[in-house]
């Protein structure tokens, strides 16, 4: 029983470490993704990342005209024949131009992260 307990503890710890490692990778990807669109306004923050193989996330923070902090997170759900965008709980179907830009951004993101993070294990 004690062996099983210890084994379970070690296994759980291992899974936690694995999950944390994946989160670290995604945080680094998000930083890289935020850089592909060029410079930010002072005080701004931008992250763009692949949450999973069907979901892309854009996070933008900036100071509004009145100095108030503005935050917007946009989530793109990629379906076989369309892309749906979610902002503040509102879902809209993504149009052609936005979809093509998103695709170009994703390609650039993929090039950067595969080169900077995953060059040793690159998926073909």
Partner 1 sequence: MSWFETLERAFESTPQRIFEALLERSVEVSDGVRNLESATAAWRADNPEQHAAASSVLHFAQEQAPFTPAAAPAPVTDLQERATPTPVDSVFAQSEQQALREARDSVDAVFADIARNNPDIVNSFSDGFDLSN
Contacts (CB under 8 A) with partner 1, residues 18-37: 18, 20-22, 24-26, 28-29, 31-32, 35-37
Site string for partner 1, 86-115 (x = CB under 8 A): -x--------x-xxxxxxxxxxxxx--xx-
Cα distances from 100 to residues 29, 76, 96, 105, in angstroms, run: 21, 13, 6, 9
In this chain, which of 66, 67, 80, 90 binds partner 1, going by CB under 8 A? Answer: 80
Q: How far is the CB of 89 from partner 1 (least distance, A)?
A: 15
Contacting residue, 66, 67, 68, 122, with partner 1 by CB under 8 A: 122
HEC readout, 9-67 = HHHHHHHHHHHHHHHHHHHHHHHHHHHCCCCCCCCCEEEEEEEECCEEEEEEEEECCCC
Distance of alpha carbon 4 from alpha carbon 43, whole angstroms: 51
Give 44 or 91: the residue with its C-beta nearer to partner 1. 44
Binding to partner 1, residues 46-65 (CB under 8 A)? 50, 52-56, 58, 60, 62, 64
């Amino acid at each position: 029983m004690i062996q099983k307990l210890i084994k379970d503890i070690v296994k759980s710890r291992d899974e936690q470490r694995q999950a944390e490692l994946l989160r670290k990778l995604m945080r680094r990807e998000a930083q890289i993704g935020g850089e592909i669109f060029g410079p930010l306004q002072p005080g701004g923050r931008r992250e763009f990342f692949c949450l999973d193989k069907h979901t892309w996330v854009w996070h933008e923070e900036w100071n509004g005209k009145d100095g108030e902090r503005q935050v917007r997170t946009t989530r793109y759900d990629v379906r076989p024949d369309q892309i749906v965008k979610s902002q503040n709980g509102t879902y809209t179907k993504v149009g052609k131009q936005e979809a093509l830009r998103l695709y170009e951004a994703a390609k650039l993101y993929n090039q950067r992260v595969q080169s900077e993070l995953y060059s040793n294990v690159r998926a073909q």
